[in-house]
Chain A
Amino acid sequence: MLSRTAENLYWLARYVERAEYLARTIDATLRVTALPAAYIGKTNEWDSALLTAGVSASFYEAYQEANEQNVVEYLAFSPSNPSSIKNCIEAARLNSRSVRTALTSEMWDTINSAWIELQEVWGKGTSSREELARFLRFVQETSLRFDGSAYRTMLRNDAYWFSRLGLHLERADNTARILDVKYHVLLPEEEHVGGPLDYYQWTSILRSVSALTAYHWVYRETLKPWLIADLLILNDTLPRSLASCYSNLVRNLDQIGVAYGRQGASQRHARGVRNRLEHSHMDDIFQHGVHEFIQEFIADNARLGEIITKQYLI
């Protein structure tokens, strides 16, 4: 297939995944900030939402204060934030238009309808919590529909695999970022571990990667920081865990390698990252430092993106 087509499919999937992640982040933050002050502590949750989205610096160029109104505006609707939800959907539609021939009509319909709804219903943003909740649901449903229609209607060929690469790479990045911003609340040596503050912080992390229910099914325990980290980093059964993202990345890259009759740097690099995750234990990670571990992972993941681009997309 054309390199440009592969590139568009890859980015299309990334944009949709990113939009969903931003919607989940806003949603989880809204829940925490709705709690009485005693449960939240002094941390500014909206600030940390900006950090997990990786747009803190650009936000403060435009705004003075990280409060609900400003941050929701910036993350969801701002035209000047290149990765606002609105811009992600716009970019996804533009990418879809350039690769219409590689999309199934169901996928196109999902993106195009979302884009139309974005203009017609959400053009002016939201004016109440209730409207915002509906908007966030709309974004998450769009992502689910897109993902589902890709899964159910695409031919299992390179077009599908490149689209999946974008999805898993973006997903891994998002999960890693939220861990990185919140790692301090997971650290067991903190004094007030187990207090109400941590509890709600932990649920908020799990919520933003849609893993709250999964946690209880997997561990059948009350929330424990190291188990949360274990779930999000090492547990292959959780679709948004780093381990699961890398199983998928390795598989999709292998499928491409087999179809093209050639392996390359991206296959080797992905396998390296996957192996490291497979052979890690939570104890070691905590000892080594969660922050350092995650930082390394984020860099490795970004490196994979560059290698894939060089090997296939240009």
Chain B
Amino acid sequence: MAVAFDEMNGPGGDLRPAYQELSRWLKETPPDALEYRRQEAELLFRRIGITFAVYGDAEAQERLIPFDVIPRIMSAKEWTLLEKGLKQRVRALNMFLRDIYHGRDILRANIIPDDLIFQNPVFRPEMNGQDVPHDVYVHIAGIDIVRVDADNFIVLEDNARTPSGVSYMLENREIMMRLFPDLFARHRVAPVEKYPDELLSALRSVAPLSASAEPVVALMTPGVYNSAYYEHSFLADKLGIELVEGRDLIVKNDEVFMRTTEGLKRVDVIYRRVDDDFLDPLTFRPDSALGVPGLMSAYAAGNVTLANAVGTGIADDKAVYSYMPDIVKFYLGEEPILKNVPTWRCREPKDLAYVLDNLGDLVVKEVHGSGGYGMLIGPAATKATIEAFRDKLKREPEGFIAQPTLALSTCPTCTASGLAPRHVDLRPFVLTGRDHVTIVPGGLTRVALKEGSLVVNSSQGGGTKDTWILDE
């Protein structure tokens, strides 16, 4: 594996311009002052109650995601490029979804094999031929980006279902501004606080035609035991909308209502953080207690907008991901600005053979996996793990893709032995409304806190950082 690109000390150890001021500040600040503020940050997070739950970890039902106080910094120029690439990619994702559930031009053009779509468990036949308000499918996208050098941004994953993490982007900034006002005074950092406003106006802009002039938006959560519950309540609060659970909603004559102290009130747009499978027990899993019976028929009648739309999972499938450069070209006629990681599709015999021969060097992922679970990182795995994966791959090759191990870029991070480089990724949040796509500058930077580790997921020992886009 090549030496990782460090975002502060570039190749050859030259301090990169965006980090000049931070580097100076770090030299002036005694290490114990930094440690003191790190502890203060942790205390603030705990008091505010920003926690997440780790599934299968009974001891730590609510845990804090470690927060690293050293910001990650990007220049305006870098951001402009990234922003352009993200907008392009999300436009293509929406057009792809509309096409898959309607005319299917892309299948007829033989760009993507039919069975990859129709045999795919996240493809929703219920959505065939169904129009969604204003043709927007992915209202909120979280695109995971990594860097390997100064010039290229690479997309690691598209999250088109119910991406989470934006509350950390907002709270990290709040806490940084509280703890390091001096550092902010020395930089011009583009603000992120407009996100809730932009999200609300995007959601209102896609209200169904039958909605009143003041569409009612609600955020639907699976409830307090969900790992992202804090984020759900945080966003509902910032947006000033009701935080509803399935049991608060009822469908009558194909319209959705919430039960309020003043009787039933119609809901026009549901920002749902509940997976497709649990939305409506009449259509999907009959055992789901989280959903609303009849919701899908109200949706089909065009009386409610679901954000994101049902069936968007097909766009963040990791095998479909490997076709994204072709998808961008097909719908937009443009060269993709953001690169893909080269991907071997194990469903194809030639690729599978290569992957099996090179397991020790590759990262193997489940096509429907998320959260860093069920993943093999070849160079870091034991022989036994590799052999176990080999069996899995042979048994169910279509369930996996493989990618080369990327040398993710690093950023300076607080560790027990002082500042040290740690690998990072970035999840910007892309909002699509009726007629425009917006992104607040920055996103959620996740950092692998263990030395050498490439896994940034919070469920597996990752932390977060504030992400600064410098305004020039």
Contacts and interface: CB of A to CB of B under 8 A. Distances in A.
A160 B214 CA distance: 26
Contacts of B259: 2-4, 314
Interface string A209-248: 0000000000000000000000000000000000000000
A101 B243 CA distance: 8
Question: Max chain B CB contacts within 10 Å: which of A5, A94, A113, A158?
Answer: A5
A38 interface: no
B224 A1 contact: no
B391 interface: no
Interface stretch (B244-252, B270-278, B307-315, B341-349): B244-252
A116 interface: yes
Interface string B241-265: 0111101100000000011111000
B229 A97 contact: yes
A113 B47 contact: yes
A101 B262 contact: no
Contacts of A98: 223-224
A101 B236 contact: yes
Given A2-B242, A4-B247, A116-B46, A97 B233 contact: yes
Contacts of B224: 94, 97-98
A11 interface: no
Contacts of B223: 98
A276 B374 CA distance: 68
A256 B261 CA distance: 10
A6 interface: yes
B237 A101 contact: yes
Nearest to B239: A101
A150 B362 CA distance: 56
B237 A2 contact: no
Interface in A1-46: 1-6
Nearest to B229: A97
B452 interface: no
Contact of A2 (B46, B47, B233, B244): B244
B129 interface: no
A2 B49 contact: no
Contact of B261 (A94, A100, A116, A158): A158
Given A2-B248, A4-B245, A100 B47 contact: no
Nearest to A162: B261
A289 B82 CA distance: 80
Contact of A1 (B49, B236, B245, B261): B261
21 contacts: A1-B260, A2-B242, A2-B244, A2-B261, A3-B260, A4-B247, A5-B242, A98-B224, A100-B234, A101-B243, A105-B48, A108-B49, A109-B47, A112-B47, A112-B49, A116-B46, A162-B261, A256-B261, A260-B261, A260-B262, A312-B261
Report the 9 A-B pairs with minimum CB-CB distance, sorted nearest first.
A100-B233, A101-B237, A312-B261, A3-B259, A6-B261, A101-B236, A97-B224, A112-B49, A260-B262
Given A97-B224, A101-B243, A113-B47, 10 more contacts: A2-B242, A2-B243, A3-B259, A6-B261, A97-B49, A98-B223, A101-B236, A101-B242, A162-B261, A312-B261
